[in-house]
Amino acid sequence: MNFKLFFLSLGTVLLGSFLAFYVNGFPTDGIDDANIYMVYMRNFSEGHGFVYNVGGERVEGFTSLFWTILGAGIYHFTDSIGPVLMLINIVVITYSIYKYLLFIQENQPYGSKLTVPFQVLFASLIVVIPGFFSWTVIALLETGIWCSVLSLLLLFVLKNTGRSKISDEIYFCSLIVILILIRPESLLWGLFFVSARGFKVAYDTRNIRASFYQMLPGIIIYIITISILITWRISYFGFPLPNTFYAKVSGDKLHNLLYGGFYLYKNFLHNPLLLLTALLVLINIKAISKSYLLIILTGFFGVTLFIPLYTGGDHFGMGRFIQPSLLGVYLLLVLLIFQKRQLSLKEVSALVLFLSFTSQNSWYESILFRSGPISHEFALAQSGRSKSERLNKFFSYEDDGYPEIGVLTAGGSAYTYLGKTNDLLGLNNSEMAHFEEVGVSSNGPKNHSGFKQEVFFKQEPDIFFLSLEILENDDPRLYEPLTIGEFSREVFKSIDSNPEFENEFDAVVISNLHLDYSIKTFASEDFLATLDVEDYSYKKISYK
């Protein structure tokens, strides 16, 4: 091990992670989607299977099977899973950066004198634009381990000599298996990496048959792994892809292309290094075509941009889809920069300082206001947890058990709530996601358009978080009209104006006669009729 490079990698990760941790309010439980993972991890570790609600339907409301099983294993040793997952992310990202720096050291693309400036620029770019460590370390999603596996596969094919040993095949095929178990995009990424191995042989020898034989082990393991995974999904869940795919991805290709184009535009504003990389690729296309290293890295960059175009991206800030690929993209960028001008260490420092001001959301702004572009994602998770804890106490007097809650944000709420949680957007609700066997409508906010009113009235949760406030009994706002947020109204498709909703649900203040706080929300009339008058009272209010 090169300890100098290891400590440079570790220092880079610790600095970037601390900055992300600080500007996002020192969160230890991840974003709301990470809390959905934790629900499945806990339920699976306790022997309930892959279920969102204990005793409920089997549903693949998580994107990464690998991350879910890993977390379930951790739950056997501790309930404080957040810090452990964060530590795992720190370890795998440190190792990934170390491997890139070692690759640079061993290959010395522009000579030994430029190796240190090259490495310093590469490591600095990871920190200089916010986003990478927020998504790969502290969000507690599979993003960190996804980044690591993409990185290890990329570096393997970059070093591909065309002559394979058995150990190389085992290493490569093992990574392909893990890749496929992490995210659905692995169907495309797997083809890219398998093809890259064969391309090296074809590039050097023009021997198509030898190229095919080089790819054959990877092709076989790719097909077998996907076949086993899909077969298991169909037999266990009833569907070939995760439920999140059906609840989020539109079947309208033009709609996805428009959303995806805007997604890339937003990410070019947030991270101008992506736009700079694209421009340098176009300017140097002739030189790139003469270098196997640059061809593979350019292809890697192309797949990175293609995936959000095809799927429409997502609603998260700072490019969650793109962040796991940034290490490979930055290696391409630094290679192209040094190809134009071989920078000294002083020039690298000046360039890094300049780039630190170019992001639409710079570190300076985030540190000053102690709030990053995705701080609210962490706040949503924490708010969901705290509200559900208060609801647990509030409804602990209910003889019929805890009421079923219908939610918009389905992670933090479900993680702490003791009753049944109904995810009304369909990520963890198969009937909602697969209603009429049609994908998500193009109407509604991106990744929040899965709500179907027909299914809602069929399932009819007891408490509906179209709006929810928990207020002290002496709060003057308690009996004011219940306010529906514009986003909630859009997501739930103005259900409050549906006559059927007006007949079956009421805006109410429910009071627990033993506590000093009450809840303002929408509740079904059937549920309100079950409240024990010795413990609860309620009053209908208006809403707006």
Which two three-digit tokens encode residue 473? 């009994």
Which residue from 150, 151, 170, 172 is spatially nearest to 160, judged by alpha carbons? Answer: 172
Number of residues that make up the chain: 544
- Answer whether 482's CB lies under 8 Å from 541's CB: yes
CA distances to 346, 392, 393, 513 from 479, rounded to whole Å, are 64, 22, 22, 16
- Answer whether 543's CB lies under 8 Å from 507's CB: yes
DSSP-derived secondary structure letter, 429: -
**Per-residue confidence in pLDDT tens, the chain, 544 aa:** 899 999 999 999 999 999 999 999 999 999 999 999 999 999 999 999 999 999 999 999 999 999 999 999 999 899 899 999 999 999 999 999 999 999 999 988 877 788 999 999 999 999 999 999 999 999 999 999 999 999 999 999 998 765 678 888 999 999 999 999 999 999 999 999 999 998 888 888 888 888 888 889 999 999 999 999 999 999 999 999 888 777 766 566 777 888 889 999 999 999 999 999 999 999 999 999 999 999 999 999 999 999 998 888 888 889 999 999 999 999 999 999 998 888 999 999 999 999 999 998 899 999 998 898 999 999 999 999 999 999 999 999 887 889 999 999 999 999 999 999 999 998 899 988 888 644 444 456 667 778 999 999 999 999 999 999 999 999 999 999 999 999 999 999 999 999 999 999 999 999 999 999 999 999 999 999 999 999 999 999 999 8
CB-based contacts of 56, cutoff 8 Å, min separation 6: 420
**Using CA atoms in the order 341, 342, 344, 345, what is the torsion angle rounded to 10 degrees?**
100
Instruction: Give the strand order in the sheet containing 505-512.
Output: 421-423, 405-407, 463-472, 517-524, 505-512, 536-540
CA distances to 394, 526, 536 from 529, rounded to whole Å, are 17, 5, 11
| Measured distance CA(68)–CA(74) in Å, rounded | 10
Q: 């393997």: which residue's tokens?
A: 156
| Measured distance CA(279)–CA(273) in Å, rounded | 10
DSSP-derived secondary structure letter, 358: T
SS3 511: strand
| Measured distance CA(21)–CA(87) in Å, rounded | 13
Which residue from 324, 343, 276 is spatially nearest to 64, judged by alpha carbons? Answer: 324
| Measured distance CA(90)–CA(484) in Å, rounded | 40
CA distances to 214, 216, 253, 333 from 211, rounded to whole Å, are 5, 9, 33, 28
Q: What is the pTM of this model?
A: 0.92
CB-based contacts of 134, cutoff 8 Å, min separation 6: 20, 24, 318, 372, 374
